[in-house]
Each structure stands twice: as structure tokens, then as C-alpha cells.
Amino acid sequence: MKLPPGIIHPDGEHEITVAQEEIGVLNADTFDGKIHIEWDPQAQVTPMGQLPFFIQYLKMGHLFQPWVDECQLQYVSNNAPKKVNILGSFLLSILSGHTRYAHMTSLMSDNINAKLPGMTKVVSDDCARRALQRLDEAAGVRWLQSHLYYCYSPLLSQPWILDVDVTVKPLYGKQEDAVIGYNPHKPGRPSHTYHTYMIANLRLILDVEVQAGNQSASSYSAPGLWSLLDRIPQEHRPAFIRGDCDWGNDAVMTEAEQRGIDYLFKLRQSKYVKKLILQSHCKSGWERTHTGWEALSSELKLSTWKQARRVVLVRRRIQNDIVIAPDTNKPLPQQLSLIEPAESMAAYEYSVLVTSLDNEVTTIVQHYRDRADCENNFDEMKNQWGWGGFVTQKIKPCRLIARMIALVYNWWTLFVRLAEPDKHLEAITSRPLLLHGVGKQTSHAGQKTLTITSTHGRIDYIRQAYQRVSDFFDQLKANAPQLTPIQCWYRILSEALKKYLKGSFLKPPNCLHSEN
């Protein structure tokens, strides 16, 4: 009996191949009649047809390529992704308003915009996450801080105000340092806290730190603040620091006084603050600041303070069924009781500010009122950019992506100022206006042409705005061989912020100060 030959290499499981039918023309019956639909995945089209103007701005300002070159990402494999592909994917995703890593998938079929920053393709969301995990945190923070500083440092030669504040980011998974802390809108929800330092009025982010959800106090923000100020030259430090009532404590104010930096904070209405309000209620000398408001300068020393400091009491008369004090010159009782309303009586709501500034009370009150713009900035960063998302289990990528979003946000904000120098446009307005638009690319005789079709109602305004931007870049490009990269960036900032600078030009120094 002859045995069959043995099988040295047995066959594996046979692959089941499914015949893929090509999708032909589809029909859709609409109120406008039957529409024939075809798919063309190879078409050279993009939904962000106006992106080339922004990429030109990044190139002329020497912003993107140095950012890529100085990144410390290192790969050994020949099949590893390129740094420019990873960082360019982050740039396009953040600019598009994405809030999840998975949203990058929507950019992978864009055959036009991926090539504009020098990329070969858009990487996957898994590749982007792994890149942030691979990056050393300390080196990554220094890298992003240096480029944030390069972006805003020319503006520090002008008088400016530093806003400090904290916002809460609720989390819904099992993330590192996701701790239940102070969250007025969603109590009991684990969260992270974003400690942010901003240039007031211009809405530019200086730096941001991500910490645990229960670390929202100013004592956790202060080390980052002093570290930021130490990286800024003495002559470029802010006119004063501005913050809410959490910053009105002796430790912060003493540190600011030792550094020679003025401050303007709000005070909590503690026992001695309320006593000062009672003593000042019927005093003369209240100055009207603006409609319905008046202020009075005084001095206060709390038990936790080492010295007395200047305070400004601000009040507004309110109409209510309950009043707390008679509107007379008689001294007030130590305890105020509820009384029936009368025409000769009035109720007030009070706020107390502590400051080292010697300005008149009207100016000080207006300075603090301007701080409301800081809250608008948080709303924009969390709801229109990526601070409300891009969550991973580890906190290190969260800290890196928060600064990366701040950097792209600063780039876009200053670019929008080139087109609209008179006011700040939030992303919900500026993206449809200056970024979105169907772009179709054609090539002929080695020349590429991008035809943009915008459905925006202000198409004439868009064309005129980009005509001004294009003319400016043409002029800058003609002078670029004679200018250094920092001089080019100073020229761009001077043009973008000509209203803020009141027509003056930023003068570049002989050498740019840097944090490292």
C-alpha cells in the first residue's frame, strides 16, 4: 500500500473573496425632480477651498516649517510616518474645528489640502495619538511654549494686560487625573482644569496648563504664571495682572509686589469686606463710573494680609422688594434687618476690587469690566475649537494637544485680522467666511488652478478681503529676500494689528529673546 505524500507546508485558511460591484449611478427622487448621483473619489476637490491663503501666511511668517523641524519626534523605521504628516494632520484637524481624534478620518480623502503644508497624506487618528504618547512631555512642552512665545512676543513691546483664569472640562471616561472638583454646571462630574494665561483684548493665548479636576485654585495656577513671566524680558512684562476673586489672596499679591508687577483682582465678600461695605454705604465721595454704577476708593487690611492695600468698592442700585439699608447719611446698624420697601430706601449690589494701580476709580472699574472678554474667549476655545475634546486616558497628550490647539488658534486669529483688522471674529463666523468653500483643482501645462465656489452670502466681501491679503503678501514677498524670518513676522503682525497699534509699526529687535 502506497501512502500519499506528506504536506510540508499546509495551506492556511482560504480567503473568502466577495465580488465587489462597482456602484453605478444612483437616483434620488426630490421635489425638484429626479436627480442622478455619481461617485467620483478621485476628483480633485476640497471643502476648504480657501485654505491656500492661510498656508501662504504660515509660510511667509515662517511659522509652520520651524514648528515641524524643531519637534522632537524621532522614528527609526523606514515605514514610520513623517513628522510633517503628523503635525500637518493636527493642523488641518484643529483648524477644521474637530474635537475628537477620530474626526481626522474625514480629512484622509482630501487630495488637495494635504499637499499644501508639504504633506504626503493625512495620518490616521491612531497614528496621531501614538505620536503624542511617544513625545517626551517636558521636551514637548518646551517646544510648544517656544513657538507660542514666537507668535506673540513682538506684541509684548506694547502696553498689555495679562488675564488669568481657570475653566473646567468635564470628562466621561476613565482618564488620568479625572477628579471631581468645582464644576458649577455639572456637579459631581470628573473633570480636568485648564489654567490659562491670555493677552487681554487681543484674545491671544500665552500658555495653558492642564491639571486635575480638583486643582482649580489660584495656588495651582500661580507657579505657571510666575514661570511664564520669568520667560518674558523685564521690559516686556504686562502693565498689570487681572483675575477673579480666587486671585485676591496675600500670597499672589505679595509675589506680584516683590516682582514689581501691578495687579487688579476681585475680593470675596468675607467678614471684613462686608464690614467695609457697611461702613462705606452712606459715605460721600462715590463717583459715577457709567450708567447705574458708582465707585469709591478705600483701604483695607484683612487678617490674612501682611499689609493694607487699596480697594475700590463698586455698587449698583437695584430695584427689589427687599432693601438692606436706608439711603440716608445716618450711620448704619451693625446688623441689617429686612424691612418693607419705601421710596426713601434703596438696595445695592456690591463688588470689591483690590489693586496696586494708582489710577482713578473710573479707569480701574472699566479695566475690570473689560475682563468679561476673557469668559468669551473660554467659550470660543471650548465650543468652537478643541479644548472641549481630544481626550485620551493619559493626561500627557491632553497637555500637549491643549497647547497645540492654542498655537493654531493664535495663528488663525492673527490671520483673520489680516482680512478683518477692525474686530475679532470667532471661529463660528470666520471659518465659513474665510476657510470654507468648495475648491476644484485643475492642472494644465504644469500650472495648477484652484477654482473656489463659496455659498456664503458675503462672497463679494470675501473676494475683496483676500484681494487685500494677496496684495500685501505680494509686496512682502518682493521684499522677503532682504528680510530675516523675524522681520517678516513683524511686518505681518504690524499689518494684521494696525488698528490695535494705531497705525504704528512693530520694530524687530537685533535678536529675538526666547525662553531657552
362-418, pLDDT tens digit by residue? 999 999 999 988 888 889 999 999 999 999 999 999 999 999 999 999 999 999 999
Q: What pLDDT was estimated at residue 3? A: 61
CA atoms of 83 and 103, how far apart (whole Å): 19
Contact predicate 361/381, CB 8 Å: no
**In which element (H, E) is residue 85 found?**
helix 83-95
Q: What pLDDT was estimated at residue 510? A: 63
Contacts of residue 433, Cβ cutoff 8 Å, sequence gap at least 6: 425, 456, 458, 461, 462
Averaged confidence pLDDT in the chain: 88
User: Mind listing the pLDDT tens digit for each residue in 160-202?
Assistant: 999 999 999 999 988 999 999 988 888 889 999 999 999 998 9
Q: pLDDT higher for 347 or 436?
A: 436
Q: pLDDT higher for 439 or 322?
A: 439
Report the chain's C-alpha Rg in angstroms. Answer: 29
Q: What pLDDT was estimated at residue 372? A: 84
What one-letter code names the amino acid at 40?
D
CA atoms of 459 and 468, how far apart (whole Å): 14
**In which element (H, E) is residue 195 found?**
strand 190-199
Q: What pLDDT was estimated at residue 344? A: 41
Lowest mean pLDDT among 123-132, 331-340, 437-446, 462-471: 331-340
Q: What pLDDT was estimated at residue 329? A: 54
Mean pLDDT within 435-445: 89
**Residue 159: pLDDT above 90?**
yes
CA atoms of 241 and 247, how far apart (whole Å): 10
Lowest mean pLDDT among 77-91, 237-251, 331-345, 452-466: 331-345
Contacts of residue 503, Cβ cutoff 8 Å, sequence gap at least 6: none
Strand, helix or coil for residue 465 = helix
CA atoms of 201 and 148, how far apart (whole Å): 17
Q: What pLDDT was estimated at residue 183? A: 85
Share of the chain above pLDDT 70, in %: 89
Q: With the C-alpha atoms ordered 401, 407, 413, 419, is the resulting torsion angle positive or negative?
A: negative
Which range of 22-26, 72-76, 264-268, 320-324 scores highest in mean pLDDT? It is 264-268
User: Mind listing the pLDDT tens digit for each residue in 23-66?
Assistant: 678 889 989 889 888 877 777 888 899 999 999 999 999 999 99
Q: What pLDDT was estimated at residue 434? A: 95
- Backbone φ/ψ region at 471: left (φ over 0), alpha (ψ -120 to 50), beta: alpha
Q: What pLDDT was estimated at residue 337? A: 42
Q: What pLDDT was estimated at residue 15? A: 47
Residue (of 45, 55, 54, 108) closest to 452 by Cα position: 45
C-alpha to C-alpha distances, 301 to 93, 282, 368, 497, nearest whole angstrom = 51, 21, 21, 42
| Cβ burial, residue 487 (10 Å; 0-12/13-18/19+) | middle
**Rounded to 5 degrees, what angle do the CA atoms 201, 145, 388 make?**
65
Q: What pLDDT was estimated at residue 298? A: 95
CA atoms of 451 and 110, how far apart (whole Å): 15
Mean pLDDT within 253-277: 95
CA atoms of 264 and 7, how far apart (whole Å): 85
Mean pLDDT within 136-162: 96
**Residue 290: pLDDT above 90?**
no
pLDDT band at 90 (very low <50, low <70, confident <90, very high): very high
C-alpha to C-alpha distances, 440 to 338, 431, 444, nearest whole angstrom = 71, 19, 13
Q: What pLDDT was estimated at residue 23? A: 64
Q: What pLDDT was estimated at residue 20? A: 47
**Residue 211: pLDDT above 60?**
yes
In the DSSP assignment, the letter for residue 483 is S
Mean pLDDT within 4-21: 51
Contact predicate 215/166, CB 8 Å: no
